[in-house]
Structure 1
């Protein structure tokens, strides 16, 4: 059942991305990020300078061969296979399906095209896959370091856009930056697998909460002794670092175990040391 869910989610992501390319990207003459953008740039170069029209999918697939092989070996086999399905389906649909006319306003095209692109990538990530290209690279680095590098990918995309601007005009390149910025913000907002939170929990039911944390996130925590400033009673303070994806449900469960628990949640900017994170399969 889970496999069917992942397959359908990845398929939906491919449809959304193909529609986005044919509707917003082509309408605005924009350049999306990653290998998708490089593929469209190669298409534009051959069409403009050599009067040769080449299909999108062979370029897109060719660029992804090496990153896919690396992820297959080091990240996860199912993860990579679902990602390859995304690449194949998106490439075919981009060459086959017609675009829709939504608006001629290039600013609206840039913003909403970027939002759709970000949603497509997030659908892939929620399914335990990726849209390929620089996303392969980003996931590989994040698995190795535990850090998100979406903003660094944006810097690389801007470098590609400089080439695009020199060849095809700066207006299209600058609007493409808006497109890519909108896409990146959607990713940073919706997909939070590699973001972490620190919990400080003041409680009288430390043993039960420690067991709960261990069962939910598969790692333990640190216990500190405290004293109530008002009552002077002894308190246990539990210190734990968790993935942001676990934060909401875990806090709810803690409140069920101890309704009187005082919980302080802090976003963790940097973490060094052993931290368990479920691997991509």
Structure 2
């Protein structure tokens, strides 16, 4: 339920960024949503309906490639975003196009970032990016930005190159915010010293789907035997790990360090 609420809120934030800041100035977003915005400006069809129709093929592909829960959350995000685009009024909050593209990009980045953190995506090229993230450890926002050059070019030919450059600024802003909010590319190494190693290990293995190395340890002062659990997680998993450790062994000693890179078998998402 928590993830569902977060995804709904994130999707509405994205729709607000589109309708209140970007669409009134003909500034496009990234990916399929940007194409939907362009078609919505050029045709009588609503951007929300176009966004839903354009996402359907990739949602079908994702259903078979990325797992049912992930795609279910993604479908929820696409539907809520499309509904927001359909029902939220298109208002020009600011008359300054530059301010509008920056603020719109921030809102879109926040909405997309929290959706990713809730184990979903915003659909479109995000699905392609998530497929690539399982193979290569690149920042998600940078991946999306690299795939959006075509949107900027189309915007330049149709709306003029000034608006195309503003579209580029908006895409860059949203991608940087996504990388700040969605931090799965940041790895953390945990060294957990506990007297309840077996119990904690079983729960963490079930929750994290990460490998854990168990080392037998002995306290230098007390002489008591303890177990050291070592694992590598992504940044956004840290809160759940903290809660789990506190529930099972609130007296455990935990050392958390940021990891530069991981070589070997490690699930990237």
Q: CA deviation at 1:168?
A: 1.9
1:10-56 Cα distance to aligned partner (Å, 9 max, x none): 33333222222111012332110111001122344xx3xxxx53332
Moved more, 192-201 or 21-30: 192-201
1:36-115 map, 5 Å:
36-44=33-41, 47=42, 52-115=43-106
Alignment partner for residue 9 of structure 2, among 7, 12, 20? 12
Aligned residue number for residue 119 of structure 2? 128
Aligned residue number for residue 148 of structure 2? 157
- SS of 1:199's equivalent in the other structure is strand
Q: Please, which runs of 5 or more residues in structure 2 have no aligned partner?
A: none
1:45-79 Cα distance to aligned partner (Å, 9 max, x none): xx3xxxx5333234322321221011111222243
Alignment partner for residue 22 of structure 1, among 14, 19, 29? 19
Measured in 1, the distance between the counterparts of 2:259 and 2:145 equals 23
Q: CA deviation at 1:265?
A: 0.3
| Contact kept in structure 1, 2:185 and 2:268, CA below 8 Å | no
Q: CA deviation at 1:131?
A: 1.6
TM-score by length of structure 2 reads: 0.77
Measured in 1, the distance between the counterparts of 2:39 and 2:26 equals 14
Aligned residue number for residue 255 of structure 2? 263
Count, aligned residues: 263
Q: Please, which runs of 5 or more residues in structure 1 have no aligned partner?
A: none
| Contact kept in structure 2, 1:147 and 1:195, CA below 8 Å | no
1:143-154 map, 5 Å:
143=134, 148-154=139-145
1:149-188 map, 5 Å:
149-188=140-179
Measured in 2, the distance between the counterparts of 1:266 and 1:217 equals 20
Measured in 1, the distance between the counterparts of 2:254 and 2:10 equals 40
Q: CA deviation at 1:273?
A: 1.1
Aligned residue number for residue 212 of structure 1? 200
Measured in 1, the distance between the counterparts of 2:107 and 2:239 equals 26
| Contact kept in structure 1, 2:18 and 2:85, CA below 8 Å | yes
Q: CA deviation at 1:114?
A: 0.8
Moved more, 88-97 or 110-119: 88-97
1:198-223 Cα distance to aligned partner (Å, 9 max, x none): 2356x6x5x64575355325445446
| Contact kept in structure 2, 1:214 and 1:220, CA below 8 Å | no
